[in-house]
Amino acid sequence: MIPVLAAVLLTGVVAQVELRGGGVVDAPIVEVAVEGVKVGGDEARVLGWDAVKRIEGEYGVEVEGFLALGEDAWRARMRLDRGDVRLAEPLLESLWVVYRDKGGPTALLVAEGMLICRGARGDQVDAVEAWLRAVTLRAGGQRLAGDPASLPVLEPGSLLCRWLGPFWLESEGLRAFAESPVETVDDAASAYRMLYRGMARRILGMDAELPSGGSWPESAEIRLLRAMLDAQSDDKTVRERARATLMRGLAEDVDTWREAWRRAALGLSYLREEEASARTPGIFHLLHIPSRFSGTQPYLAGAALAWVGVELHQRGDRTGARRMVDEIRRIDGHHPALGWLQSRLVVRRSTGPAVSNKESEL
């Protein structure tokens, strides 16, 4: 059960805050709240509960509840640091209920932890929510104790997540994201949300529906995402212009996550063409991803193989389509692209419904 925790005002109280790792902070406590311990003095700051072991001195009973949250957050962080995502996730899920809309260092830890956990199990759609929350917090100046060594989740500067590009396989979760309300763009997080939402809508065959007006940030990352989105346009001229932009950056981004993203956007763009010969470059761009980036982009690599499998199936290349299934299994035997592709390689008989995958997979 999640406790209801209120802020405890302790203005002017000087107490010794013992940090995990043995350090101490002797400073006047301004406020104790779910976001952390706000201390004044020469180095005024907010201490995240995951970094606080105990507070010596008089304080309200509510602080015990905050310390309990901090204990869970610290344990989750230790598990993430040693790569034990499976055991960290239950702790983070319960903390997410408390910190989903909160500020402070512990809220950032929880958001980035949820991003890691959701990405690890291939839940790329729900991972977007956690990522955008982390973007908002970091853009607002929040940092983790020990940054940048502990959780290098977001790219410095851009705050993009290198393994969370705006590419997904169709699902009900993706549709819910695509149909979420349009937001006014006034910062990096809202700009990213609208561009990712636009890509989700394009993948589902819907208009991108970007908001008009607002204050779009000017950055190389925003321009890259806009080009990736324009490459999926229904307008052939817009697609071709965006593809030229994406191609120009390939040499500069070679062997990086940006190259993988560019090739995914190029591949999907070419697959929108009507003639098979015009779609062929899309196959080559997509196959770069599993052949060169499967270790760093496992979800995108599997998705790329699935998209190629559907294209080969449509061309009548049943052997090639089945080979894509085998290649996905080599990346991850539980990859969400497996079921997605297999469901699209089912023979539908004219006299009845589709037969089972086992009997009719092409």
For the stretch 68-83, pLDDT in tens is: 999 999 999 999 999 9
Residue 177: CB partners within 8 Å, gap ≥ 6? 125, 128, 196, 197, 200
Q: Could you tell me the residue ranges of all domains in the chain?
A: 8-139, 172-360
Q: What's the CA angle centered on 338, arms 253 and 153, to 5 degrees?
A: 40
**Given this model, what pLDDT does residue 294 score?**
98
Segment 271-286 mean pLDDT: 98
Say which residues have a Cβ less than 8 Å from residue 262's Cβ, sequence separation at least 6: 224, 228, 246, 247, 249, 250, 253
* d(C-alpha 46, C-alpha 50), whole Å: 12
Which range among 55-59, 166-170, 203-207 shows the weakest confidence by mean pLDDT? 55-59
Q: Which pLDDT score, from 0 to 100, does residue 152 have?
A: 72
d(CA 200, CA 202): 5
Question: Mean pLDDT over residues 55-71, rounded?
Answer: 81
Average pLDDT over residues 295-315: 98
Mean pLDDT of the residues in the chain: 90
| Pick from 144, 103, 139, 104: nearest CA to 116 | 144
Q: For residues 58 and 223, which has the higher predicted lDDT (pLDDT)?
A: 223
Res. 148: pLDDT tops 80? no
The amino acid present at 162, given as its one-letter code, is: R
What is the spatial distance between Cα 178 and Cα 172, in angstroms, rounded to a whole number?
A: 10
- Asked if pLDDT for residue 1 goes beyond 50, the answer is no
Rg value, the chain, Cα: 24
Largest CA distance in the chain: 80
**What pLDDT sits at residue 354?**
36
pLDDT at site 30: 87
Taking the C-alpha atoms of residue 273 and residue 170, their distance in angstroms, rounded to an integer, is 19
In this prediction, residues 113-135 reach a mean pLDDT of: 97
Mean pLDDT of the region 256-261: 98
* Residue 361 in this model has a pLDDT that exceeds 50: no
- Per-residue model confidence (pLDDT) at position 348: 40
By C-alpha distance, which of 335, 301, 308 is closest to 323? 308
Question: Which long-range contacts does 155-163 make (Cβ < 8 Å, 24+ apart)?
Answer: 158/219, 158/220, 158/221, 159/134, 159/135, 159/188, 160/192, 160/221, 161/115, 161/119, 161/127, 161/131, 162/257, 162/296, 163/119, 163/257, 163/296, 163/297, 163/298, 163/299, 163/300
pLDDT at 131 over 90: yes
- Per residue in 311-350, pLDDT (tens digit) is 999 999 999 999 999 999 999 999 999 999 999 997 543 3
Q: Strands of 36-178 (E only): list them.
A: 36-39, 45-47, 52-56
pLDDT for 59: 62
CA-to-CA separations, 240 to 94, 227, 235, 264, in angstroms, rounded: 46, 10, 9, 15
Burial 134-143 (b: 16+ CB within 10 A, else e): bbbbbeeebe
Which token pair is 25? Answer: 């902070």
DSSP state of 166: S
Q: How confident is the model at residue 24 (pLDDT cuts 50, 70, 90)?
A: confident
Question: pLDDT tens digits for 74-111?
Answer: 999 999 999 999 999 999 999 999 999 999 999 999 99
For 109-124, what is the mean pLDDT? 96
User: What global pTM score does this model have?
Assistant: 0.89
